[in-house]
Structure 1
Amino acid sequence: MDQPTVGILHPGSMGAAVAACAATNAAAVLWCETGRSTASKERAARFGLAPVAELAELLGRSDIVISLCPPAAAEGLARAAAVHRFAGVYVEANAISPVRTKSIAALLAPAATVVDGGVVGSPPADGKAPTLYLSGPADATVRIEALFADTAVQTSVLGAEVGKASALKLSYASFQKTSRVLVALAVGMAREHGVDQELIEIASKRTDSYLSEPQYVAKTAARAWRWGPELEEAADALAAAGLPPEMLRAAASTLARWNDAKDDSELTLTNALDRLAHP
């Protein structure tokens, strides 16, 4: 298989590092420098990306385009690719919802082939090896797998349905990122009362993740009737400490959907999730 020319939109910290890995199996990796910051230009140069002056040139020369940008910019970039009738493989690798991803696929069809992508992990540098999850037409995902073969970017194909990779990315991010915000709130509340070190000591005794124990969801549902009010109290304590209480109030509101499952020891994960979706 001939080495493709790849375009990256745009080389932020993740995009530039991913593009540099793609360069291993590409004839060239292009980026459009017009309107970009000095930091972007320096980053692109550091990763060995080839600058072009106009987006039209990047799209015209590229066999594969990878869109890795802030979520708000995803549709704008896709529209620009559609206007220029990009006809290669377009990897929509932004952290956007499956609905938005499918909308972008429709926007670029039939000229381009869209592969849904989701990067899980840190940028591929300094020994870190993120996974690029892919879903979309098989002939296109095979090309993306080949592009990252023997690089620090691992690939995993989830199937032919556009939207699956986005769903997996956001499902993981919803826990991974929100959990860090919860850490900030918990430690902030504890620090306000001089017990932050004690809190950390308690937490250090359990280092595994509830995300790897989904069966615990049913237990959570059965206890929701008392956990919800407890979180409301915690939200009051956050507010009193000058910390934002909205996240815990939202969690309490979520738990309220399970109030009718009070102490139900027979509740299954499936039943708990059904009740959460359809209270």
Structure 2
Amino acid sequence: MDQPTVGILHPGSMGAAVAACAATNAAEVLWCETGRSTASVERAAQFELTPVATLAELLGRSDIVISLCPPAAAEDLARDVAGHRFAGVYVEANAINPERTQRIAALLPEATVVDGGVVGSPPVGGKTPTLYLSGPAGATARIEALFADTAVQTAVLGTDVGKASALKLAYASFQKTSRVLVALAVGMAREHGVDQKLIEVASRRTDSYLSEPQYVAKTAARAWRWGPELEEAADALAAAGLPPEMLRAAAATLARWNGAKDSELTLTDALDRLSQP
């Protein structure tokens, strides 16, 4: 099979690293530099992605487009792509709920839409996330081939668009809410001067996130991304007739850290911001 040209929308920390893996089996990986931040430009250069000036050029040259952006932007981005009548393979790889993924598929009638969900950290420094896929068999096979022998592992869940999104959000709802609960537990214990004792007690259970309180600072730095993911997961719960309130509460807690975007905080800093937003 000829090597495809791939477009990435937009190269954030996950998107740029995934795109760099795709470059192993692609003729070229394109990104649109118009309107993007300095950080995006630097990331794209670091991963040797090819800049183009317009979305129209990216879509015109790409056989496969991968959408990896903040969840709130996913549908607007798909509408922009639809406006150019893109007819290749569109990988909707954002952390959005299955109903939104299906709406996006409907927005792109000329494209072949593959549902994707990344579970794990960006594929740098030895990390090997899994890109779960669902959608038409021929298209998912092309995405498997695109990431063959790279740090991005792939797993196909079937032909129904929505399955990959559901798996991603189900996992994220547990993992991210658990980290929020750790922050609240340590914050409560600190208020009464027993936080070190709490950590000592938790360390006897190494299978518990509570034994990793240092991760609270990383949670704070990622809150701007995690909160919207949990809102998406809450919507998925509500659509399934399950109570969404727990995940909405976790998202509201994460919102207290929105000002800490991608910052280097200590555990003390993170807890201070949580108790005094």
Q: TM-score range by the shorter chain?
A: 0.7 to 0.9
Q: Could you list the per-position Cα deviations for residues 67-102 of structure 1 after superposition, in whole angstroms to 9, with x for gaps in the alignment?
A: 000001101110011110000000000000000000
Q: Could you list the per-position Cα deviations for residues 219-262 of structure 1 after superposition, in whole angstroms to 9, with x for gaps in the alignment?
A: xxxxxxxxxxxxxxxxxxxxxxxxxxx969969xxxxxxxxxxx
The corresponding residue for 2:89 is 89
The corresponding residue for 1:108 is 108
Shift, 1:26, TM fit: 0.1
Report 1:120-139 matches (<5 A).
Answer: 120-139=119-138
Q: Tell me how large the CA RMSD over aligned residues is.
A: 1.7
In 2, the alpha carbon distance for the partners of 1:112 and 1:202 equals 54
Indicate whether 1:8 and 2:8 are aligned: yes
Is 2:5–2:63's contact at 8 Å kept on the other side of the alignment? yes
Q: 1:185 to 1:247 in 2, by over 3 A?
A: farther
Q: Could you list the per-position Cα deviations for residues 3-60 of structure 1 after superposition, in whole angstroms to 9, with x for gaps in the alignment?
A: 0000000000000000000000000000000011111101100000000000000001
Amino acid at match of 1:206: R
Report 1:43-62 matches (<5 A).
Answer: 43-62=43-62
Report 1:181-192 matches (<5 A).
Answer: 181-192=180-191
Q: Which fold has the larger relative contact order, with Cα–Cα distance below 8 Å and residues 6 or more apart in sequence? A: 2
Shift, 1:120, TM fit: 0.4
Q: 1:140 to 1:248 in 2, by over 3 A?
A: closer
In 1, the alpha carbon distance for the partners of 2:55 and 2:153 equals 28
In 1, the alpha carbon distance for the partners of 2:249 and 2:154 equals 35
Q: Where does structure 1 differ by over 4 angstroms across 4 or more consecutive aligned residues?
A: 246-251
Amino acid at match of 1:60: G
Report 1:190-201 matches (<5 A).
Answer: 190-201=189-200
The corresponding residue for 2:144 is 145
In 1, the alpha carbon distance for the partners of 2:124 and 2:166 equals 25
In 1, the alpha carbon distance for the partners of 2:58 and 2:66 equals 11
SS of residue paired to 1:90: strand
The corresponding residue for 1:24 is 24
In 2, the alpha carbon distance for the partners of 1:118 and 1:40 equals 22
Shift, 1:197, TM fit: 1.1
Is 2:177–2:247's contact at 8 Å kept on the other side of the alignment? no
Q: Give TM-score, length-normalised by structure 1.
A: 0.75
Q: 1:248 to 1:100 in 2, by over 3 A?
A: closer
Report 1:160-239 matches (<5 A).
Answer: 160-208=159-207
Greater Rg over alpha carbons, structure: 1
In 2, the alpha carbon distance for the partners of 1:65 and 1:207 equals 41
Shift, 1:156, TM fit: 0.4
Is 2:31–2:52's contact at 8 Å kept on the other side of the alignment? yes
Q: Could you list the per-position Cα deviations for residues 158-197 of structure 1 after superposition, in whole angstroms to 9, with x for gaps in the alignment?
A: 0000000000000000011111111000000001101111
Shift, 1:207, TM fit: 2.2
Aligned pair count?
Answer: 215
Q: 1:77 to 1:205 in 2, by over 3 A?
A: same
The corresponding residue for 2:155 is 156
The corresponding residue for 1:118 is 117
SS of residue paired to 1:44: helix
Q: Give TM-score, length-normalised by structure 2.
A: 0.75
Q: Could you list the per-position Cα deviations for residues 192-230 of structure 1 after superposition, in whole angstroms to 9, with x for gaps in the alignment?
A: 1011111111111112259xxxxxxxxxxxxxxxxxxxx
In 2, the alpha carbon distance for the partners of 1:10 and 1:249 equals 27
Amino acid at match of 1:96: I
Amino acid at match of 1:194: G
Is 2:135–2:161's contact at 8 Å kept on the other side of the alignment? yes
Gaps of 5+ in 2: 210-244, 251-277
Shift, 1:112, TM fit: 0.2
Is 2:60–2:86's contact at 8 Å kept on the other side of the alignment? yes
